[in-house]
Amino acid sequence: MAGTGNAHLRPDDAILSVQDLVVEYQTNAGIVHAVSGISFDLAARETLGLVGESGCGKSSAGRAVMQLPSPTSGSVSLGLVELTDLGEEKLRRVRSRMQMIFQDPISSLNPRRKIHDIVAEPIRVWEGRKTPDETERVRKALTSVGLDPDQVWDRRAHELSGGQCQRVCIARTLVLDPQVVICDEPVSALDVSVQAQILNLLEEMKAEYDLSLVFIAHDLAVVKNISDRVMVMYLGKACEVAPSAALYEHPAHPYTRVLLASIPEPDPDAPEADIAVTGELPSPIDPPSGCRFRTRCPRADERCANEEPVLTEVGPDHFVACHHPHDEPLVEVAVAAPAADAPGGGS
């Protein structure tokens, strides 16, 4: 399972293009290979899901796209602008077109500041001062995410629920009218019912503000419901890229099938998928040679140890990095759609 190759990229349609992205960290134990040469792109008004188990490099990739910090190597282009080559001031100006929603909604908000100041801060940073239309823009953003400005205006984060805090975070990303929003596991810290509300809200905001989203998550059921296209990652590499429906109906990579088979099935009489992996997740400090999934893959052979697979098209817009991909559909997995917003909308 590797992630080399750029055959899946769409240079004519992309507003965000990431090529050969590498993120490495120096530690006392050695170099951590968090992201090892992945490539992906994002079309206008598209949602790309980045999925994989904890430690696969999803969040590191998302932060590297935002240049928080800049990647070790690789290319990140927003439109025609190469972000990795920009100086600090030019990067600050271009980066206003991208925003990020962080994983923990409460800790990403300043506990000492009032909600209206938190949402207005991007305007003040960008404009350099308080603008005449600041109040109107903040009220519009709060209203758009389902919060009553009069109710939350002078509150602080500890006075709101987790769902309300995440809505504030989303409002903060909208006040600068961005093109691209990186959503770093925005619902993982929330209750299931609130997750559905936030997912529905993101879909509404995508349409209203003409946004393109990179949605990072480890829950494949969540990713299916919101993504147009999905990239599956394992240990810093990309192993499969496909439209959401195709990936869930006909996963070709053994790791993707394992992830899908792990989704709980609500029917106790449903047949179990005969899929299993053995062994521990390898260390990102010393990843396996060849295919990084080979140490846990039931299909691995000598070729997998010696040769890194390249992303190859196996169906319409469906690419897999595997020497021995599956060609049969997976046993059907039930994935529930998000529920409609509950009355009150802020728990």
Q: What is the pTM of this model?
A: 0.88
Query: For position 276, what pLDDT does the model report?
Result: 62
Cα Rg of the chain, angstroms: 21
SS3 18: strand
> 76, 35 in Cβ contact below 8 A?
no
What's residue 73's pLDDT?
A: 94
Tell me if residue 185 falls in helix, strand or coil: coil
- 156 vs 137: CA distance, rounded Å: 19
Query: Looking at the domain covering 14-320, what would its CATH class be?
Result: alpha beta
pLDDT of residue 266: 66
First-residue to last-residue Cα distance in the chain: 40
Q: List the chain domain ranges.
A: 14-320
Per the CB < 8 A criterion, the answer to whether 132 and 154 are in contact is no
Comparing CA positions, the residue from 207, 227, 205 lying closest to residue 216 is 227
Q: Would you tell me the crossing angle of helices 162-174 and 134-144 to the nearest 10 degrees? A: 130
Q: Residue 169: what are its φ and ψ, rounded to 5°?
A: -60, -40
Instruction: Check residue 268 and give its pLDDT.
Output: 67
Least Cα distance to 146 among 343, 334, 332 occurs for 343
pLDDT at site 155: 95
The parts of the chain modelled with pLDDT lower than 50 are: 1-2, 332-347
Residues 6+ apart with CB under 8 A from 322: 1, 239, 240, 252, 253, 254, 291, 299, 309
Give, to the nearest 10 degrees, the angle between helix 115-127 and helix 162-174. Answer: 20
Q: What is the pLDDT of residues 113-162, one digit of tens each?
A: 999 999 999 988 887 667 788 999 999 999 999 999 999 999 999 999 98
E strands, the chain, are 14-27, 30-43, 47-51, 73-78, 81-82, 98-101, 180-184, 212-217, 229-234, 237-243, 312-315, 318-320
